[in-house]
Amino acid sequence: MNPSRRRKRTGYERRILIAAALLAIPPAAAALLLVWLGPFSRQLAWSVTGVLAGAFTVALFALHEQLVHPLRTLSNILAALREEDYSIRSRSTEGTDALAEVMFEVNALSAMLKERRLDAMEATALVSAVISEIDAAIFVFDGRERLKLVNRAGERLLDCPSERLIGLAAQDVGLAGFLHGKTAGMVDHSFPGGSGRFGFRTSQVREKGLPHRLLVMADLSRALREEERQAWQRLVRVIGHELNNSLAPIRSISESLERMISRDPLPEDWRDDVSRGLRVIASRSEALTRFMTAYATLTRLPQPNRAVTDIAALIGRVASLETRVPVHVEPGPSMQIRVDAAQIEQLLINLLKNAADAALQTSGEVTVQWRRRSGQLEISILDEGPGIAGGTNLFVPFYTTKPGGTGIGLVLSRQIAEGHGGTLTLENRTDRSGCEAVLRLPV
C-alpha cells in the first residue's frame, strides 16, 4: 500500500471509529453524570473525567488497530501477489476464527500461484528449447508484421542472428509474401541461408489478446531428394529384374541358335530347333512389351473427369462382368456422387478380378457391399480365398505373385482412389479366411 494512503484515513476507518465512539459514549456519559452530579469533590470529578477520556481514546485506537491492521496486512500480501512476489506470508493463521481462516487461504493461494508460476516457467523453457532445436524455421510477427520471435533454424535460413532480426518488418526479411494468400503450400525459393523447395504454413495466434501471425517453414529438398533417390532405386531394380527375366533367355537362345546354324553340316532337326527358339524369343519380347505398356499406363493416368454417377448401377455393372465365381451384391443406400465413372469402374474391376482369383483357389465366393460412413462412400469387396500372406509389397509397382501378372493393378487402383481424394486398403478378414478390399471416396 502507498505510504501516503496509509496515513490518510479512509471512509471505512472513519466508520470504525465512529461506531466505536457511539458504543462507548453512552456508558461514559452516564459515569460522568454520576460523578459530577453526585456528592464528590471537583478534584475527584476532574480526575475521573481525565481517566475516562484517556481510557476512551486508548480503547478507541486499540480497537481501530485490531480491525484495520489485519486488513492492511492482507492488502500488502495481495499487492505482492499482483506483483508476482510470492515470498510474503501472513503469520496470523493460528486459531479457528474467521481472520485466521482468511489468512490461511491467502497463504495457500500464494503457494499455489508460486507453484503454477514455476510450472509455467518450466513449460515455457521446454517450449523455447524445443522451438530453438526444431529443424523447421519458425517466425512470429505482430499485427504490424514486425518480427517478434525466431528460432535457430530461422536464423540459419535468413543467415542473421535473432538480435538483428527482431523488430524488422516482414518485407525487410523477405517473408511478407508468405503472410498473405495461401495459408499452406510448397514453393521453390531462395533465402540468404540457402535455397530449395520449402513447405510453409501460416496461422494466427494471440499473445496478451493481440493477434500475431505464425509462419513455419521446412526445407523439403533433402527429404524429396532422398525419396526421389529411393524411388529411382526401386524403379531401376524392378525394371532391371524384368529386363533380365526377358533378355537372359533371349540371349541364351540366340547364342544356342548361332552355334547350331554355324555347324557344317546342319543337324537334321535344325528347323524345329530354330522354330522353337524363335517362339521363345517372341514370347519373351511380348512379355517385355506388356511390361513397358503397363509402365506407360501407370505413369500417364489422366486427371479424373468427374460427373454425377449412380453407385448402385456402377457396382451392378462391374459385378456382372465377373463370371468365374459367384458374386453377391448386397443392397446399399441409394447414392449419387461426382466421380470419373470410367476410372472408378476400372478400379473396381481390378479389385473384383483379384478377389475372384483368390476365391477360385478355395472354391469360394465374392461379396460386394457399400454404405455411407462419416461423410464417405465405403465400398467393400470381400473374398473367401486364402488371404494375404504378406501385405508389405501389395502396392509396390510391378510386384506380383500371379503367373503372367503385371504388378500394376493395385498400384493403378490406389492412384485412382487418391486422385479422387479417397483411400484404398486391403486387409485379411477377421470373420473367416479371405481378404477385404475397402475403397473410401468423399461424398
| Burial category of 10 from C-beta neighbours within 10 Å (exposed 0-12, middle 13-18, buried 19 and up) | exposed
In-domain check, residue 99: no
Mean pLDDT of the residues in the chain: 80
Domain hosting residue 176, numbered range: 134-219
Which pLDDT score is estimated for 276?
Answer: 82
Q: Are residues 232 and 334 in the same domain?
A: no
Residue 419: which of 340, 319, 349 has the closest Cα?
340
CA distance 443 to 425: 18
Same domain flag for 294 and 231 = yes
Res 253 pLDDT > 60: yes
21-31 confidence digits (pLDDT tens): 777 777 777 77
Pairing of strands 210-219, 307-310: unpaired
CA distance linking residue 363 with residue 383, whole number of Å? 10
368 and 420 share one domain: yes
Say yes or no to pLDDT of 392 above 60: no
Model pLDDT, residue 307? 92
- Both 282 and 192 in a single domain? no
More confidently predicted of 142 and 236:
142
Could you tell me which of 132, 128, 131, 84 has the C-alpha nearest to residue 110? 84
Segment 117-152, tens digit of pLDDT: 888 788 777 777 777 778 888 899 988 889 988 888
pLDDT in tens, 62-93: 777 777 777 777 888 888 888 878 777 777 65
Residue 242 has pLDDT above 60, yes or no: yes
Strand-pair category, 210-219 with 137-141: antiparallel
Residues 153, 172 contacting (CB under 8 angstroms): no
Question: What is the pLDDT averaged over residues 261-281?
Answer: 80
Q: Are 63 and 16 in contact (CB under 8 A)?
A: yes
Measured CA to CA in angstroms, residue 39 lies from 44, 50, 102 at distances of 10, 18, 52
CATH of the domain at 426: 3.30.565.10
Q: What secondary structure letter does DSSP report for 178?
A: G
**Does residue 322 sit in the same domain as residue 249?**
no
Q: Are residues 361 and 340 in the same domain?
A: yes
Phi, psi of 192 (to 5 degrees): -55, -30
Structurally, the chain folds into a number of domains equal to: 4
**3-state SS string for 340-364:** CHHHHHHHHHHHHHHHHHHHHHHCC
Rounded to whole angstroms, the Cα distance separating 45 from 38 reads 9
Whether 117 is covered by a domain: the verdict is no
User: For 396-408, what is the mean pLDDT?
Assistant: 55
Q: Which residue has the cell 460427373?
A: 307
pLDDT > 70? residue 6: no
- The answer to whether residues 438 and 363 belong to one domain is yes
**Of residues 71, 76, 106, 90, the one with CA closest to residue 1:** 76
User: Any idea which residue has 492412384 for its cell?
Assistant: 415
Does residue 375 belong to any structural domain of this protein? yes
Q: Residues 313, 423: one domain?
A: yes
* Residue 108: inside a domain: no
Judged on CB neighbours under 10 Å (0-12, 13-18, 19+), 392 is exposed
Q: Are 276 and 330 contained in the same domain?
A: no
Question: What does the block give as the cell for 182?
Answer: 495461401
Q: Are 81 and 110 in contact (CB under 8 A)?
A: yes
Asked whether residue 433 falls in the same domain as residue 345, the answer is yes
- Calculate mean pLDDT across residues 271-276: 82
State residue 313's pLDDT score: 92
Range picked from 199-208, 262-271, 356-365, 411-420 for highest mean pLDDT: 356-365
Look at residue 278 and tell me if it is in a domain: yes
Q: 404 and 314: one domain? A: yes
| 202 and 231 housed in the same domain | no
